[in-house]
């Protein structure tokens, strides 16, 4: 059975699907669709995904769009349905995790960089903030353009509707208060799982001793928070200790390491807040004063000779 997976590099939902396929031992071919360059609007890809969404999994004549739909299909299809990742109690958590606004949290940060102090792979690329802002602000227009260029009426209608939805939600990225509301909703989900992992009967994973599909989503959610430098506020340094231990555990899982490449891609970009810049400028100012003072003293000494 040939599996072809279409992904945008670094996408949370794509990573969820990639880790799942790794856990299932399902051999597949990965095809990269760069959303930022507009590759999703090609007629060939729109024939697979009407809105240009990823991930897309094509299994012979079956085409599945979106991580939840792919997961549900695999869960009910042999031989994958019998794998451990679909066992245990973890299924009860999936609805809550599927509803987390990871995209808004990720791209919205580009408009509010003062909330973070570090960006990690793949967001450590120097042009990420500018690229992310441009992607969000221009997405509606690009969807409309793709709709007008499509010869398929169903695709045209779907793209137009998607463009309208994006424009209605754009303030969730750009507006500071609305972006903070997004972060609070993520924080509420983390509170729930911190409590679950802190129960007396809690085990290694959400589904007990068996690593389940919900663990993939929660682990990658924590990793995304770490990637965009919000982990100090969200779960590390005693904020949510059970999630901290859980994240350290899941990072060691081979499928997680292979997909996220966190141990290989170690480059970081340190972001300077207004306060940091003030302190830095103050240090430079003091340094200049000391230097000028030294020069003044030196001139006096030489003048006496």
Chain segment 67-113, per-residue pLDDT in tens: 999 999 999 999 999 999 998 777 779 999 999 999 999 999 999 99
**Positive/negative CA dihedral, 140, 12, 109, 191:** positive
Same domain flag for 7 and 86: yes
Instruction: Reply yes or no on whether the pLDDT at 29 is more than 90.
Output: yes
Percent of the chain with pLDDT over 70: 89
pLDDT confidence band for 2 (50 / 70 / 90)? confident
Same domain flag for 305 and 208: no
Name residue 119's beta-bridge partners: 269
Instruction: Reply yes or no on whether the pLDDT at 118 is more than 60.
Output: yes
Name residue 63's beta-bridge partners: 58
73-82, 147-156, 290-299: segment of lowest average pLDDT: 290-299
Per the structure, the count of domains in the chain is 2
For 294, the enclosing helix (H) or strand (E) is helix 274-304
CB 251 within 8 A of CB 129: no
The answer to whether position 100 is within a domain reads: yes
- The string of pLDDT tens digits covering residues 238-269 is 999 999 999 999 999 999 999 999 999 999 99
What contacts 257, CB < 8 A, 6 or more positions away?
A: 251, 263
Instruction: Reply yes or no on whether the pLDDT at 177 is more than 60.
Output: yes
CB 259 within 8 A of CB 18: yes
Give the CATH number for residue 79.
3.40.30.10
Instruction: Reply yes or no on whether the pLDDT at 273 is more than 70.
Output: no
Same domain flag for 258 and 290: no
Same domain flag for 16 and 119: yes
Report the pLDDT value the prediction gives residue 50, as an integer from 0 to 100.
97
Per-residue pLDDT averaged across 211-230, rounded? 97
Per-residue pLDDT averaged across 190-207, rounded? 95
Q: Give, as one character, the DSSP assignment of residue 205.
A: B
pLDDT confidence band for 286 (50 / 70 / 90)? low
pLDDT confidence band for 225 (50 / 70 / 90)? very high
The answer to whether position 275 is within a domain reads: no
47-56, 134-143, 201-210, 274-283: segment of lowest average pLDDT: 274-283
The answer to whether position 276 is within a domain reads: no
Same domain flag for 19 and 123: yes
Q: Which domain holds residue 298?
A: 281-305
Per-residue pLDDT averaged across 16-33, rounded? 97
Between 46 and 294, where is the model more confident?
46
Instruction: Reply yes or no on whether the pLDDT at 298 is more than 60.
Output: no
Same domain flag for 215 and 304: no
Report the pLDDT value the prediction gives residue 281, as an integer from 0 to 100.
47
Per-residue pLDDT averaged across 120-137, rounded? 93
Same domain flag for 59 and 166: yes
């Amino acid at each position: 059975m040939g599996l072809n997976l279409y992904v945008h590099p670094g996408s949370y939902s794509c990573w969820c699907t990639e880790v799942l396929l790794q856990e299932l031992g399902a051999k597949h071919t990965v095809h990269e669709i760069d959303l930022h360059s507009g590759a999703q609007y090609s007629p060939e890809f729109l024939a697979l995904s009407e809105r240009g969404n990823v991930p897309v999994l094509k299994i012979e004549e079956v085409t599945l769009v979106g991580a939840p739909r792919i997961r549900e299909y695999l869960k009910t299809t042999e031989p994958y349905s019998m794998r451990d990742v679909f066992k245990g109690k973890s299924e009860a958590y999936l609805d809550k995790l599927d509803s987390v606004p990871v995209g808004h949290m990720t791209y919205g940060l580009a408009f509010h960089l003062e909330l973070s102090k570090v960006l990690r792979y793949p967001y450590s690329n120097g042009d990420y903030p500018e690229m992310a802002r441009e992607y969000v602000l221009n997405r509606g227009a690009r969807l409309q353009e793709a709709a007008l260029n499509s010869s398929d009426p169903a695709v045209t209608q779907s793209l137009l509707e998607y463009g309208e939805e994006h424009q209605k939600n754009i303030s969730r990225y750009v507006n500071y208060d609305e972006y903070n509301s997004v972060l609070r909703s993520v924080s509420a989900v983390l509170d729930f799982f911190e409590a679950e992992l802190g129960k007396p009967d809690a085990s290694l994973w959400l589904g007990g001793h068996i690593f389940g599909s919900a663990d993939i989503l929660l682990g990658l959610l924590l990793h995304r928070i770490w990637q965009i430098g919000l982990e100090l506020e969200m779960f590390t340094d005693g904020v949510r200790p059970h999630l901290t231990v859980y994240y350290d555990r899941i990072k060691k899982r081979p499928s997680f390491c292979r997909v996220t490449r966190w141990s290989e891609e170690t480059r970081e970009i340190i972001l300077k807040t207004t306060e940091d810049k003030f302190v830095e400028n103050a240090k430079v100012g003091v340094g200049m004063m000391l230097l000028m003072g030294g020069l003044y003293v030196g001139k006096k000494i030489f003048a006496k000779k």
